[in-house]
Chains A and B, each alone.
Chain A
Amino acid sequence: MSELKGWREIPIAGVTWKSSMETKTGDWKTFKPVIDQNKCIKCLICWISCPDMAIQWNGEKVVENYDYCKGCGICANVCPVKAIKMVKEE
């Protein structure tokens, strides 16, 4: 409890004061997307469809960002060549 701030120390209006870069929110998925780069045709449909920006384009290929991926499976579902498989998390 001690590191939590008091009501005078935090901004009003319930706005966040920490960047989401610091708070990883991807720890509750059950299945994670795994991209088969050999099948991928780089259409970027998964990239634009991911509600969490957890598919990223690194200039050469699409990559999964498991720090923020929620495991919803939308990317796998929209991929026209079925290059994404949802794999059970360990």
Chain B
Amino acid sequence: MSVRQRVMGLNGDEAVAWAVKQCDVDFVSAYPITPQTIIVEKFSEFVANGEVETEFVPVESEHSALSACIGAAALGARAFTATAANGLALMWEIVYIASSLRLPIVMAVVNRALSGPINIHCDHSDSMGCRDASWIQIYTENAQEAYDTVIQAFRIGEHPDVQLPVMVTLDGFLISHTLQNVKILPDEVVKDFVGVRKPVEVEIPGRGRIPLILDPENPLTFGPLDLYDYYFEHKVQQHEAIEKARPVIKQINEEYYKISGRKYGDGFVETYGLEDAETAIIVLGSTAGTVRYVAKELRRKGYKVGMLRLRTFRPFPYRELVEALRHVKAVGVMDRSGAYGAYGGPVYIETKAAFYDEDEKPKILNYIYGLGGRDTPPTMIRKVYEELLEVSRTGKIEKKMKFLGVR
């Protein structure tokens, strides 16, 4: 089944760089920003050593990094970039342009709190901010998954039904700078798995089907003015594309399992202990490890707790979520980003909305945690489970949204 793999001691950023190295990427452009820097630093080493044939373009800002990727991807190249927090914020304009031009760029976002106040540590405020940018968003739990997911991301984004950029996130420092044993597939196996990017064709009246790339033989204009007569139609196409990514994400997760022996739930959610659980926590990113640890411990003591790790946030797996959790009595949703003036954090709002039409549904509470890298130890998660068990007994919610670990 799966092939022999090399175990390397890598941090999350290096694991991402290794994945990019093996994916036969034509073009990388990036600007260094903590905690993402190691990715491009490591990758530029591969370039300097002649280990890859990638065109590496160092630029003066993230705005240019993603713009350069757009140019390359529009030419048909497989393109990659990486950023974090304020770098992503500076890219903002181009983030939406990349998806509207339907370019399957892969971008690693190393989650870091957005300034201000200035902070370099992990929270999800950066990538959550662009959750509606029509990018696929996959949140990884550790360095191994970051490596695996970058490889999958090229396949997902480049799928003919999808043609959208993919954001793969890893928690700043907690994953990016933490050394882990990472299983690395042989180069040829990854190369075969990702293949060569094949541009899709579009039907142009009077010209037939032509490749959707910048090609002097078959000229096309990318990014012209698109007003009230067609902008809306193009946006509906983006809706359609991200919906079509659902079966693709599942399929690639399975295919990847065949070559590596690793898969992440159904590609969307990964669960533990939910079969008979009375309470559950929904969490994304590295904190899932802590939650699983505490859930295991509590189950050993006889408490019926479970957890669900949300891996893919866009497209949002509302059906999978409802199926996995409808029998649970109380669910705590962990959000690692603020929700100023909102009903709750982004994961909470989506979860509640997913359950609105259901007859059978749990009580759902929101826990905002870990902002600016605030530590989230097992003791904190234990308290959440205790509170959820109390809610599941009484059916009463004292406060819907709570801040964990704030003095």
Within the assembled complex, what's the spacing in Å between the Cα atoms of A47 and B211? Answer: 32
**What is the distance, in angstroms, from A22's C-beta to the closest C-beta of chain B?**
10
Q: Do B220 and A16 touch (CB < 8 A)?
A: yes
In the bound complex, do residue A13 and residue B224 qualify as a contact, i.e. CB atoms below 8 Å apart?
Answer: no
Which of A7, A15, A17, A18 counts the most B-chain CB atoms under 10 A from its CB? A15
**Contact in complex: A7, B202 (CB < 8 Å):** no
Q: Which residues of A contact B236 (CB under 8 A)?
A: 7
Interface of A is mostly: loop
- In Å, the complex CA distance between A5 and B232 comes to 12
Q: Chain B contacts of A59 at CB under 8 A?
A: none
Q: Number of A residues contacting the other chain (C-beta, 8 Å)? A: 14
The 8 Å CB contact of B204, one of A6, A11, A14, A20, is A11
A52 to B239 Cα, complex, angstroms: 35
Closest to B214 in A: A15
Contact B233 A15 (CB under 8 A): no
**Residues on the B chain within 8 Å of A17, using CB:** 204-205
Interchain CA distance A13-B221 in the complex, whole Å: 10
Cβ-based interface call for B229 (8 A): yes
User: Which of under 10, 10 to 19, 20 to 34, or 35 or more describes the interface residues of B?
Assistant: 20 to 34
In the complex, residue of chain B having the shortest beta-carbon distance to the beta carbon of A4: B229
Complex CA–CA separation, A20 to B219 (angstroms)? 11
Interchain CB contact under 8 A, B237 and A12: yes
Q: Chain A residues with Cβ under 8 A from B229's Cβ?
A: 4
Q: Is the CB of A15 within 8 A of B212?
A: yes
Once the chains bind, are B233 and A11 in contact (CB under 8 Å)?
no
Interface: B101 (CB within 8 A):
yes
Residues of A contacting B204 with CB < 8 Å? 11, 17
Check if A14 sits within 8 Å of B101, measured CB to CB.
Answer: yes
Considering the complex, which residues of chain B in the window 227-267 have a beta carbon less than 8 Å from any beta carbon of chain A?
A: 229-230, 232-234, 236-237, 240-241
* Nearest CB in chain B to that of A16: its residue: B221
Answer yes or no: A78 CB below 8 A from chain B CBs: no
The reply to whether B163 and A12 contact each other, CB–CB distance below 8 Å, is yes
B203 to chain A: which residues have CB within 8 Å?
Answer: 11
Q: How far is the CA of A84 from the CA of B349 in the complex (A)?
A: 63
Q: Which residues of B sit under 8 angstroms from A4, Cβ to Cβ?
A: 229-230
Of residues 1 to 58 in A, which have CB atoms within 8 Å of B's CB atoms?
A: 4-7, 10-18, 20
**Closest A-chain residue to B163, C-beta based?**
A12
Contact present for B220 and A7 (CB under 8 Å): no
A49 to chain B, nearest CB (A): 22
Indicate if the CB atoms of B241 and A15 lie closer than 8 Å. Answer: no
Known A5-B233, A7-B234; contact A14-B212, beta-carbon cutoff 8 A:
no
Check: B309 CB closer than 8 A to any chain A CB.
no
B293 interface residue per 8 A CB criterion: no
Residue-wise interface mask of B (97-112) relative to A, using a CB-CB cutoff of 8 A (1 in contact, 0 not): 0001111000000000
Question: What are 20 A-to-B residue pairs whose CB atoms are below 8 Å?
Answer: A6-B233, A7-B234, A7-B236, A10-B233, A10-B237, A11-B202, A11-B204, A11-B212, A12-B200, A12-B202, A12-B237, A12-B241, A13-B100, A13-B103, A13-B163, A14-B226, A15-B220, A16-B220, A16-B224, A17-B205
- List chain A positions with a Cβ less than 8 A from chain B: 4-7, 10-18, 20
